[in-house]
Structure 1
Amino acid sequence: MFRILAALSLSLALAACGGGPAPSPTLSTTAGAIANPAQFRVIPPNFGDADPASFGPRGPEDHAVHGIDVARFQTAIDWRQARANGVNFAFIKATEGGDLVDPMFRDNWRGAGRAGVPRGAYHFFYHCRPAAEQAAFFIQNVPRTPGALPPVLDMEWTPFSPTCTIRRPASVLRSEAKIFLDIVERHYGQRPIIYSTVDFYQENEMWRVGNYPFWLRAVAAHPDEVYGGRHWTFWQYTSTGLIPGIAGEVDINVFDGSASDWAAWLAANRHP
């Protein structure tokens, strides 16, 4: 296991925040909404890794703001303990395709909010369902919560799916992505984030979808080395992270910027 704690500063970042629109009928928007400057505070990570990679001179320890992404596989999470140990943001799986809600989504959404963890929801794209149908399903299940991070479209290949392993042409995939992103952006009033893996990103030229923030997976090298210098906002650097409050291994990510950059990004991109 490695320790990142000693490599990072203890900087704090504060910013103001505002109110929000009417709630969704599916989930309360008030519980845990970002409502005070303390929730902009950056806590240095007290993390480990079951299988740490060597990134050379440019590793995740050079980034101040660390967070996680979670789904049902993490089971119950002690969000307050995770927050106290350096979880500064969380992307939470909400939906997949057009008919699957992650069974831990509601618990994770409420728990992260109550612990003061800025959180956003992500949708796992299913290549056998129309994008518009998937966007409608995501909207049906993810509330417009004041303070929430932008919604995320997770697009990657699905070779182990029991029902859908097709690989449609790159132009079709980019078109479908744009349909989903446009619908979701109109509903939430936030520019969505695109998550991608190295192979999917390169084979489908995902940068051509448009000017969206990117959340990129790179567990063996810095994303600048494997994504051709593509600007990224979040970097998923391991899937074997160990964090107090979370049972088993978890994906860990960093934000591209300082603590003050994070406060500014939150102020500009949170749901109003």
Structure 2
Amino acid sequence: MEKLMSCEQQTPTAHARGIDVSRWQGEIDWRRVASAGVTHAIVKMTEGGTYTDPRFATNFAGMLAHGLTAGVYHYFRALSSTPGEQLGNIRQRLCEANFEVGKHILAIDVETSRNEEASPDQMADALHELVTLLSTQVLDGAHPYIYTSPSIWADRVAWRKYDFSPCPLWIAHWDAKQPTVPETWRSHGKSWHWWQHSSKGQVDGIQVAVDLDWIKR
């Protein structure tokens, strides 16, 4: 298992250390996580139009209680739920968690799992509609982060149809010296904000492997 200390030694001083978690990490001791030097965390909140991660409320409260810079993510479904249904699910959980716009991060997780039947055009159309709804009805004109990998974004999303570059990039590129920034952002002179660089991290306070992230300060 990859040790957090080894990541600390490799992390440039311009980067803060973060993790992202879901129910798969089980019960988390956030006091120990914070003491291990993790300063940022994003927790899975919702998926599609109805699902809520059963550990969301506990994890989000624990992150806040121990001073971590906090965020939440929504797992995007292109076909099984409409953007409007997903907006309703997101907004309800944000209100229940006392999410603060401008302080806490909201990200959309764009992956192929459970989106296998969606075409690249359908992925882009539904994602663009959801981004627009969140920006105008939840985030006071700001844009949600987009989480994706270079290959998924290039091959599974018709990204040229819309300008997604205003959405801060959370890139998943494991075991690389530097992540590949998709053309959507690179062509606008933008880079990543969060980089998920490993899925095999070990952090004190978490009993199983956890995703590790670097965050530009």
TM band (smaller chain): 0.7 to 0.9
Q: 1:5 to 1:93 in 2, by over 3 A?
A: closer
Quick one: percent identity of the two aligned structures?
Answer: 25
Q: 1:173 to 1:5 in 2, by over 3 A?
A: closer
Residue of structure 1 equivalent to 2:76 = 125
State the TM-score, normalizing by the size of structure 1. Answer: 0.67
Equivalent residues of 1:198, 1:217 under 8 A apart:
yes
Q: Which runs of 4+ in 1 moved over 6 A?
A: none
Residue of structure 1 equivalent to 2:123 = 173
Separation of aligned partners in 2, 1:191 and 1:145: 15
Separation of aligned partners in 1, 2:206 and 2:122: 38
How many angstroms does 1:4 deviate by?
Answer: 3.4
Separation of aligned partners in 1, 2:57 and 2:202: 23
State the TM-score, normalizing by the size of structure 2. Answer: 0.83
Unaligned runs of at least 5 residues, structure 2: none
Alignment length (residue pairs): 200
Q: Does 1:196 align with 2:152?
A: no
CA offsets 1:44-93 (integer angstroms, 9 cap, x no match): xxxxxxxxxxxxxxxx5225301010000011111111011111111110
Equivalent residues of 2:123, 2:158 under 8 A apart:
no
Equivalent residues of 2:173, 2:179 under 8 A apart:
no
One-letter code of the match for 1:242? Q
What does residue range 88-167 of structure 1 map to in structure 2 within 5 Å?
A: 88-127=39-78, 128-143=80-95, 144-146=98-100, 148-158=103-113, 161=114, 165-167=116-118
Separation of aligned partners in 2, 1:210 and 1:133: 24
Structure label with greater radius of gyration? 1
How many angstroms does 1:175 deviate by?
Answer: 2.0
Separation of aligned partners in 2, 1:122 and 1:225: 21
CA offsets 1:212-263 (integer angstroms, 9 cap, x no match): 110000013245446468311110000110000111110010012xxxxx3x
Separation of aligned partners in 2, 1:4 and 1:192: 31
Q: Whose strand proportion is higher, 1 or 2?
A: 2
Separation of aligned partners in 1, 2:169 and 2:8: 28
